[in-house]
């Protein structure tokens, strides 16, 4: 078990480039693997989650070279070129890996099994099993939980599916199965979610129509290799954005941050709270909006987080809890019940962790009510959740006394080098 100690720090200064986007890195490996030809991925996230996805395809006969850190050369085998894996595929901690792979593997000629770590083994899979079964897939689970046993040689047919919850993972699983299905597959969402699968399918030459909250494609085409440059992950930048906002005297530059509007709801929430975050050098790279962000310290005030931005900041609630706990006044979060089925129950873990640091916070079934104030020092458990661990480290940097955070090893799933990068811009955090 790896623990951290995060201590009262000075201002954050300088510039950082956080690692590559996790969502894009998973998808780049998957589509490059089943494309025809050789694709080069740069800015690839060297995290445990995305490396597990790369290993999965290596297990299915795809040659993936790593000529340099954060670079992959994927020798695509074509839509029907994957080989039966010799053993169950271990997705590690990655919900994205498992759910997207479930869709892709549902259309193969061979049987496969997907497993995961203790956290992933508790995460709901019915949300993908149900629509994939409607398409003709056969997937066995233990009461909707991993491992997933996926039968091969099934004939899939396209469906028209309205997602009951806003989930890019479910949408993507259905679209990936749709590549192998007869006829058209159409998905619609109760709220638009990140559209990386859709835009990347288009970049690999697959005909697809999509707009805000819907997508449609048909089976029977081919993917052609292409090169992908992965921007810095907004969700990883979020810890630095909040830390620089909260620590007096800070001025921090974050480079190359992915600014897809379906990811940046936190910016809207923080600006409504009074944050000073400027975008510079906005540009588009392979259809994705990217910018550098300049963050200066600013005092925050509590807000009612608008319910409609919740899906656009679904991974940023742990760090928003910290911002809210350091703001003046009350912050109310509603409509975020999905947080209870992430890598941990993030509402419960953050409420417990912040309470241990003297914060007044009330849990509700779909959110929390957080009273702003100060953090005392203390001990807080991240429950093995990478985003909770990094959020609690940010709390420690502006606390009155050191904060000891337990169970931080999983930070390597999404943000290898977090401690070193935080230290480089002034955060006093030690890994032990």
Question: Among 18, 101, 168, 395, which residue interacts with ligand S3P (rule: CB under 6 A)?
Answer: 168
Tell me the closest approach of the beta carbon of residue 21 to ligand S3P, in angstroms. Answer: 9
Query: At a CB cut-off of 8 Å and minimum separation 6, what does 51 contact?
Result: none
Q: Is the CB of 123 or the CB of 186 nearer to ligand S3P?
A: 123
Question: Among 25, 39, 53, 167, which residue interacts with ligand S3P (rule: CB under 6 A)?
Answer: 167
Q: Which residues are paired to 37 by β-bridges?
A: 76
315 is catalytic: yes
- The window from 141-149, 164-172, 260-268, 278-286 that contacts ligand S3P (CB under 6 A) reads 164-172
Q: Is the CB of 168 or the CB of 253 nearer to ligand S3P?
A: 168
Coil vs helix vs strand at 91: coil
Coil vs helix vs strand at 313: helix
Q: Does 236 contact ligand S3P by CB under 6 A?
A: no
Q: CB of 350 within 8 A of CB of 321?
A: yes
Tell me the closest approach of the beta carbon of residue 386 to ligand S3P, in angstroms. Answer: 10
Tell me the closest approach of the beta carbon of residue 338 to ligand S3P, in angstroms. Answer: 6
Q: Is the CB of 195 or the CB of 292 nearer to ligand S3P?
A: 195
Tell me the closest approach of the beta carbon of residue 189 to ligand S3P, in angstroms. Answer: 10
Q: Does 233 contact ligand S3P by CB under 6 A?
A: no
Structure tokens that stand for 346 in this block: 């993030």
Structure tokens that stand for 7 in this block: 């201590």
Q: CB of 273 within 8 A of CB of 302?
A: yes
Which of 306, 356, 354 has the alpha carbon at shortest distance from 331?
306
- The window from 60-68, 167-175, 183-191, 390-398 that contacts ligand S3P (CB under 6 A) reads 167-175
Q: Does 312 contact ligand S3P by CB under 6 A?
A: no
- Could you say which of 315, 345, 381, 407 is catalytic? 315
- The window from 75-83, 84-92, 163-171, 423-431 that contacts ligand S3P (CB under 6 A) reads 163-171
Question: Among 312, 315, 345, 385, which residue interacts with ligand S3P (rule: CB under 6 A)?
Answer: 315
Tell me the closest approach of the beta carbon of residue 24 to ligand S3P, in angstroms. Answer: 8
| Binding string, residues 328-367; x marks residues near ligand S3P by CB under 6 A | ----------x-----------------------------
39-68 residues in contact with ligand S3P (CB under 6 A) are none
Which of 143, 32, 130 has the alpha carbon at shortest distance from 78?
32
Q: Is the CB of 93 or the CB of 331 nearer to ligand S3P?
A: 93
Q: Does 96 contact ligand S3P by CB under 6 A?
A: yes
The DSSP annotation for 221-254 comes to: ---B---EEPPBPHHHHHHHHHHHHHSTT-EEEE
Backbone region of residue 43 per phi and psi (left: phi > 0; alpha: psi in -120 to 50; beta: other values): left
- The residue ranges of DSSP E strands in 170-328, in sequence order, are 184-188, 208-211, 214-218, 228-229, 251-258, 276-285, 288-296
Q: Is the CB of 165 or the CB of 409 nearer to ligand S3P?
A: 165
Cα dihedral sign, 88-89-91-92? positive
Q: Is the CB of 247 or the CB of 269 nearer to ligand S3P?
A: 269
Tell me the closest approach of the beta carbon of residue 373 to ligand S3P, in angstroms. Answer: 29
Q: Is the CB of 28 or the CB of 399 nearer to ligand S3P?
A: 28
Tell me the closest approach of the beta carbon of residue 160 to ligand S3P, in angstroms. Answer: 20
Q: Which residues of 299-330 are buried (b: 16+ CB within 10 A; e: fewer)?
A: ebebbebeeebbbbbbbbbbbbbbbbbbbeeb
**Cα gap 365→179, rounded to integer Å:** 37
Which of 414, 408, 427 has the alpha carbon at shortest distance from 3?
408
Structure tokens that stand for 5 in this block: 């100690």
Indicate which residues carry an active-site annotation: 315
Contacts with ligand S3P by CB under 6 A lie at 23, 96, 167-169, 172, 194, 314-315, 338
């Amino acid at each position: 078990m790896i623990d951290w100690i995060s201590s009262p720090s000075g201002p954050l200064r300088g510039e950082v480039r956080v690692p590559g986007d996790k969502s894009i890195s998973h998808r780049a490996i998957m589509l490059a693997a089943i494309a025809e030809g050789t694709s080069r991925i740069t800015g690839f996230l060297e995290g445990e989650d995305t490396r597990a996805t790369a290993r999965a395809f290596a297990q299915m006969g795809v040659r993936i070279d790593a000529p340099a850190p954060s670079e992959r050369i994927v020798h695509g085998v074509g839509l029907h070129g994957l080989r039966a894996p010799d053993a169950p595929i271990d997705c590690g901690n990655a919900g994205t890996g498992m759910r997207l792979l479930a869709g892709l593997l549902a259309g193969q000629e061979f049987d496969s099994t997907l497993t995961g770590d203790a956290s992933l083994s508790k995460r709901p899979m019915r949300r993908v099993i149900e629509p994939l079964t409607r398409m003709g897939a056969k997937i066995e689970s233990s009461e909707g939980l991993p491992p997933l046993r996926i039968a091969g040689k099934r004939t899939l047919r396209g469906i028209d599916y309205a997602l009951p919850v806003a989930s890019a993972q479910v949408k993507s699983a259905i679209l990936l199965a749709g590549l192998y299905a007869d006829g058209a597959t159409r998905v619609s969402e109760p709220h638009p979610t990140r559209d990386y699968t859709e835009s990347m399918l288009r970049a690999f030459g697959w005909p697809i129509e999509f707009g805000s909250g819907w997508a449609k494609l048909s089976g029977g085409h081919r993917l052609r290799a292409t090169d992908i440059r992965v921007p810095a992950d907004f969700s990883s930048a979020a810890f630095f954005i909040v830390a620089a906002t909260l620590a007096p005297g800070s001025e921090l530059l974050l480079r190359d941050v992915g600014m897809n509007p379906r990811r940046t709801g936190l910016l809207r929430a923080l600006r409504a709270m009074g944050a000073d975050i400027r975008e510079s050098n906005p540009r588009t790279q392979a259809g994705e909006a990217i910018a550098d962000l300049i963050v200066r310290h600013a005092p925050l005030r509590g807000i009612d987080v608008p319910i409609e931005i919740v899906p656009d900041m679904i991974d940023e609630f742990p760090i928003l809890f910290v911002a809210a706990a350091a703001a003046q006044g009350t912050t109310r979060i509603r409509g975020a019940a999905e947080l209870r089925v992430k890598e941990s129950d993030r509402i419960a873990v953050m409420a417990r962790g912040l309470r241990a640091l003297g914060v007044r916070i009330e849990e509700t079934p779909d959110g929390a009510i957080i009273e702003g104030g100060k953090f005392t020092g203390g001990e807080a458990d991240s429950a093995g959740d990478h985003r909770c661990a990094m959020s609690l480290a940010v709390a420690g940097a502006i606390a009155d006394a050191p904060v000891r955070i337990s169970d931080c090893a999983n930070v390597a799933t999404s943000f290898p080098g977090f401690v070193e990068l935080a230290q480089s811009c002034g955060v006093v955090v030690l890994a032990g």
